[in-house]
Amino acid sequence: MKIRARIIVTVLPLIIVPLLLGEVASYFSAANDISRGAERFLSYKAADLQRYAESQWALLVENRYAGRADMDAAAQKAVELYAQSIIAYRDVPADIPITEKIFAVDGSGEVVMKTSDITLSDTEKETLLALFGEENGGIMTATLGGVERVFRAFYFPPFRWYIVVSEEKAVFYHDINSIKYQTILIIAASSALAVALLILLSSMLTTPLSTLTRAMSAIITEGDMSGRVPVEYRDETGTLAGTFNMMITGLEQAYHEIKRHAFEAVLARKKEQRIRQIFQKYVPKDLIDKFFASPESMLVGDNREVSILFSDIRGFTTISESLRPDELVHSLNRYFSGQVDIIMNRNGIVDKYIGDAIMAFWGAPVKHEDDIMQSVLSGLDMIDALQTFNAKQRELGKPEFHIGIGINYGTVTVGNIGSERKMDYTVIGDTVNLASRLEGLTKMYHADMLISETVYNAIRERNSSLHSGLSFHVRLLDTVAVKGKTKGVKIFAVKRSLTEKEAKAWSIHNQGMKYYYNRFFAEAAAQFREALTLIPEDVNASMLLERAKVYAHNPPPPDWDGVEVMKSK
């Protein structure tokens, strides 16, 4: 909000509010006085008419004419004439119609006396009689003869009349309404005048500031450090102009130095962008960001807990023999493009391509809370994306790709590894080797993807139950010691969705594994046999059924831990 507007918004209420309060107070004071005067005048007429009617009746009683119809009628006529004389006594021009009416009604609401024509509807009669029944001796308001009227009424028992002295409401409150309109007009005119004066005053106050602001803006916009703001006033605005000129002088002295630093910064930025553009094709973006933030830290190795994924194309040698080199490269590029996008979109780092295999990891150089979950979801996404890829392969008349994925989680050494002439940012350790072995086991266990026990446990810790909050299903397949190792590790198959039969079979299979590892081999065999009735082609259930039957007849030694030792990679 500009200063001029602030002045108006601040000062205007200080002027308008007292004016408004004063005028409103004056209006209500005058309105009350006029209203009381009009009510008193109307009440005075009613009281005067009542006294006259009583005097007429007293004459009849004194002369013993009361009760004679002709004499009663004469007295009633006298009251009517007197009522007309009260109305006629008005200090108004003759051309203005008389709106005041005096009339009397009987107990049924019929008009029995009137000073001028008035006709009451049935509704008006009921309303009028209801008001009389309230015994309200004050000023009342009702619609009478189709016009809203203010009236004072009294009951005259000798004639059994309700006598009404009335005036049209608009006429009765005419003076009050006139004062109201005058008050509104005064407030509006005063407010308009106040706004005009405030605009003029604020303009006088802010014009020097506007001149100073325009001069400053011109210097800043044009970048002309030789420009100066004119000092026109010997006040605060003049002091501000002088201070600004001193600042410009200081900036002008530093201008060339700033330009030099800015030019060097632009060159450095462009150089950094070129380096990023070149190396982002070979090195993860997070790694490049970390290098530029702290170059010296990239020469030191670090132990990290990461999730490792290995993916390999099955039967790649057969596929490569069926395609020309250019066709093979084209297919591989399409395959790698989709798979790598999935990994990177889930915060993964593509470590390297090993022929047709992909190695990726999560948790370095930047660690995320859900790295393990993202690695598993990446594997499932890669399997789903392969369907789209294979649909295109079929369309092109090319062989389909089938992959196996192994995922492990554990501690590795991560950093730049290699020589001064060639270095790779990579991870090494037993965790990496086991992930590679799991990928190899997918062929034996006929599974698209296998995860290790550490991955499974990490997922289970993040969820209250196995499937709670997950978008995939897990089945325990075996406990194996990969080649070169004696310690066994549980391996699990993972799928994003299951058919109704598969879901039931997997649940039965997992129950069978509990029996199996607790040495209840007969019960385990029964579970695996039931799972096979649902999925007859289930290789894993069939393999475990054969083992359970063997162990049921020839139990393993007491120190048996269920580990199957792998003889090959």
Write down all domains in the chain, each with its CATH number in brackets: 3-177 (3.30.450.20), 299-462 (3.30.70.1230), 495-569 (no CATH)
Q: How many CB atoms lie within 10 A of CB 491?
A: 28
pLDDT of residue 558: 87
Joined tokens for residue 51? 């006294």
* Average pLDDT over every residue of 222-248: 70
Q: Does residue 91 surpass a pLDDT of 70? A: no
Joined tokens for residue 388? 């789209």
pLDDT of residue 369: 87
Tell which phi-psi region holds residue 145, choosing left (phi > 0), alpha (psi between -120 and 50) or beta: left
Q: Are 481 and 489 in contact (CB under 8 A)?
A: yes
CA atoms within 13 A on the CB side of 32: 6
Percent of the chain with pLDDT over 90: 31
Rounded to 5 degrees, what are φ and ψ at 215? -65, -45
Q: Are 475 and 506 in contact (CB under 8 A)?
A: yes
pLDDT digits (tens, 9 = 90+) for 399-431: 999 999 999 999 998 888 777 677 777 889 899
Residue appearing with tokens 């109704």: 500
pLDDT of residue 243: 78
How big is the CA angle at 292 (ends 286 and 297), to the nearest 5 degrees? 85
pLDDT of residue 73: 87
Q: Does residue 375 surpass a pLDDT of 70? A: yes
Q: Does residue 303 surpass a pLDDT of 50? A: yes
Q: Are 168 and 198 in contact (CB under 8 A)?
A: no
Cis peptide before 365 (omega within 30 of 0): yes
pLDDT of residue 255: 65
* Average pLDDT over every residue of 189-210: 75
Distance CA 226, CA 248 (A): 8
Helix (H) or strand (E) holding 412, with range, is strand 403-418
Cβ-based burial of 195 (10 A; exposed 0-12, middle 13-18, buried ≥19): middle
Q: For the CA atoms of 441, 444, 449, 451, what is the dihedral angle to 10 degrees? A: -50
Q: Does residue 439 surpass a pLDDT of 80? A: yes
Residue 567: strand, helix, or coil: coil
**What average pLDDT does the chain have?**
81
pLDDT digits (tens, 9 = 90+) for 533-569: 999 999 999 999 999 999 999 999 988 888 877 655 5
CA atoms within 13 A on the CB side of 264: 6
Quickly state the pLDDT bin for 193 (edges 50, 70, 90): confident
Q: Does residue 463 surpass a pLDDT of 60? A: no
- The amino acid occupying position 142 is A
pLDDT of residue 441: 92
pLDDT of residue 504: 95
pLDDT digits (tens, 9 = 90+) for 330-367: 999 999 999 999 999 999 999 888 888 999 999 988 88
Q: Are strands 473-481 and 563-565 parallel, antiparallel or unpaired?
A: parallel
Within 153-235, residue ranges assigned H as helices are 169-172, 174-222
How big is the CA angle at 239 (ends 238 and 240), to the nearest 5 degrees? 90
Of residues 365, 401, 363, 410, the one with CA closest to residue 382: 401
Q: Does residue 228 surpass a pLDDT of 90? A: no
Residue appearing with tokens 């009542």: 50
pLDDT digits (tens, 9 = 90+) for 105-163: 888 888 888 888 888 888 888 888 887 766 556 788 888 888 888 888 888 888 888 88
pLDDT of residue 10: 74
Distance CA 7, CA 256 (A): 42
Q: Are strands 403-418 and 449-452 parallel, antiparallel or unpaired?
A: parallel
pLDDT of residue 468: 47
